[in-house]
């Protein structure tokens, strides 16, 4: 049971890391028009490096718990965060096609996780 709690915590950490990773694109878009080496440019890139550093350190911890294929399957939710940030920060429109794509991504990640969980039960039965 202890391992299940750790995995749940690491799954939450993984998705928080994806949220942080998605912010790098938001910051990039915000500073895209800034003059090279201006204060806005430098602060923006400092924030990007900070986000990427946090992401990289956390990702190493996630990979200690989850196989690489499972961790990368979850990474697809970054697209969902991108659509969310586009709407909230930049006022972009969420079209029915984008919404359908987001639903498919989330369903795919959930199905992948459920299939993997079923596979683990099957392996445990054979041991």
**How far apart (Å, rounded) are the C-alpha atoms in residues 85 and 21?**
12
Over residues 2-27, the mean pLDDT reads: 87
Give the global pTM: 0.77
| 3-state SS, residue 75 | coil
Q: What is the mean pLDDT of the chain?
A: 86
pLDDT of 110 strictly over 70: yes
pLDDT of 17 strictly over 50: yes
Over residues 49-77, the mean pLDDT reads: 91
Predicted local distance difference test score (pLDDT) of residue 119: 52
86 vs 126 pLDDT, higher one: 86
Residue 119 structure tokens:
């596979």
114 vs 2 pLDDT, higher one: 114
pLDDT of 124 strictly over 60: no
pLDDT band at 121; cut points 50, 70, 90: very low
Task: List the alpha helices (DSSP H) in 1-127.
Answer: 2-31, 39-65, 68-74, 77-90, 96-126
């Amino acid at each position: 049971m202890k391992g299940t709690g750790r995995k749940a915590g690491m799954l939450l950490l993984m998705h928080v890391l994806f949220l942080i990773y998605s912010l790098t694109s938001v910051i990039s878009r915000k500073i895209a028009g800034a003059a090279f080496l201006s204060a806005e440019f430098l602060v923006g890139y400092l924030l990007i490096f900070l986000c990427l550093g946090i992401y990289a350190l956390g990702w190493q911890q996630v990979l200690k718990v989850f196989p690489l294929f499972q961790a990368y399957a979850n990474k697809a939710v970054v697209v969902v965060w991108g659509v969310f940030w586009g709407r909230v920060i930049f006022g972009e429109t969420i079209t029915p096609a984008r919404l359908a794509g987001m639903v498919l991504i989330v369903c795919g990640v959930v199905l992948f996780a459920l299939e993997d969980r079923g596979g683990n039960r099957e392996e445990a039965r054979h041991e």
